[in-house]
Chains A and B, each alone.
Chain A
Amino acid sequence: MTKIFYLLRSFFPSWKFFDDVGPEIRLEVRCGTSETALGDWTNCLPPIPRSAATLFVNPAAAYLHACHNHLNHFNADIAESDTERPELLAEKTTYKITRNLVQVQIKKLKLAQAPFTYQFRISANYIKDLNREADHILISPVYENS
């Protein structure tokens, strides 16, 4: 039923754009050769490029917007998840996509060379209040990528 709903929503939009400056949901990653040799946390997604040459066609921005939209959906799934059973969250499609995204970005940004070990975290960063520390919403287990 929810699947039909998300398609129907497309025909009845809320038309709310940029109405509230919420926290920035950030995907960060650290990687290394082993679990004990993980590096510093790094932002997994580069900034959305700005260029007058890409006013009409901008696949890089389309990709990054899709990634940020996905992170917001994942954040909603985390909020709804059962904190006592974290293994259920790992079975969700949004979790699997996030893990794929991390692996793709590690290779794209050349953060490590295969085989590598990595861990990711989702954090809320407060743009309105720069003095406020980021909230780490989720920290993943350490994974290996062969």
Chain B
Amino acid sequence: MDAVITLQLMARICAVLAIIQAYEFLCLTPVTSDRGVWRWDDLKNEIAGKSGFLRGIFGCFLKSGNFRYFNIFRIMVAITVLLMPTPEAMALLLIIHILTLVRWLGSFNGGSDYMTSILLLFVSLGLFFPESMAAVALWYIAFQSTLSYFKAGFYKLKAQNWRSGTAAREFIISPIYERSQLLETLMKSPVFSRLSSWGIIFFEITFPVCLFHQNLAALYLAAGFLFHLLNAYVFGLNRFVFAWIATYPALYYCSFRS
């Protein structure tokens, strides 16, 4: 796989992610309006302080009424990236993403926002400087993706309640989430909860081996895809699906070169 072609594929997946994120924000227009939850009047002091200039600049994009058009613009830029993944269009998506994070005081959806930031920054750099930065960008994204699984697995392995299976059960049947008879029945079984916990720990902690061989990469990436679909169903973490899948071409690229 060529580094630039890999980056272009990742740019297109980032574009799909940007369309999903912008569409969800459009659906949430009532809660970002002047009568909603995250009102510009409350946020502007936190974001721009007392500076009239900064308030004016940020307000152009992030003010309750304007945020809707800002997201429509984001969809248009993302469609451009889908059709023509140029470095300029990717850089624009990055700026839009950062402005969106500003409106949510740093993050709207935690981990998926962080991975999106890393992806947009390094894919843009790789496309801007293909000779010197393309491979570096791919390796850095692969490193962050691998680290995200490994660290998550490492902390779980250290926790006694994860090793015994109780943590997985407590997370899954938490009252924060809608009740599911099937999940509750499955997680009531100590054997199932322990097996599923160890399955997750094993998958996450051994994830770095996918960098050593392309067959291992194919196996782990397929498992990763299923893992994120399951998380999307069980925890409603749909934004993580495309954010992590967008890193997979980098992992596959690196598995050929290690």
Interface residues of A (CB under 8 A from B): 3, 6-7, 9-11, 13-21, 24, 47-52, 54-69, 73, 93, 96-97, 100-101, 104, 125, 127-128
Contacts and interface: CB of A to CB of B under 8 A. Distances in A.
A21 B111 contact: no
Can you list the 8 inter-chain pairs with the closest CB atoms, starting with the nearest? A61-B236, A6-B106, A59-B27, A13-B114, A19-B155, A15-B148, A15-B151, A10-B117
Given A3-B47, A7-B102, A61-B236, A56 B152 contact: no
B159 A47 contact: no
Contacts of A47: 175-179
A143 B241 CA distance: 41
Contacts of B234: 50
The binding surface of chain A is classed by DSSP as: helix
A9 B106 contact: yes
Given A24-B175, A61-B236, A93 B43 contact: yes
B156 A13 contact: no
B110 interface: yes
B233 interface: yes
Contacts of B118: 11, 13
A77 to B, nearest CB: 12
Contacts of A63: 28, 31
29 contacts: A9-B106, A11-B121, A13-B111, A13-B114, A13-B115, A16-B152, A19-B156, A20-B159, A47-B177, A48-B176, A48-B177, A50-B234, A56-B238, A57-B24, A59-B28, A61-B236, A62-B24, A62-B28, A62-B108, A63-B31, A65-B109, A65-B110, A67-B37, A69-B108, A93-B45, A93-B46, A100-B42, A104-B35, A128-B161
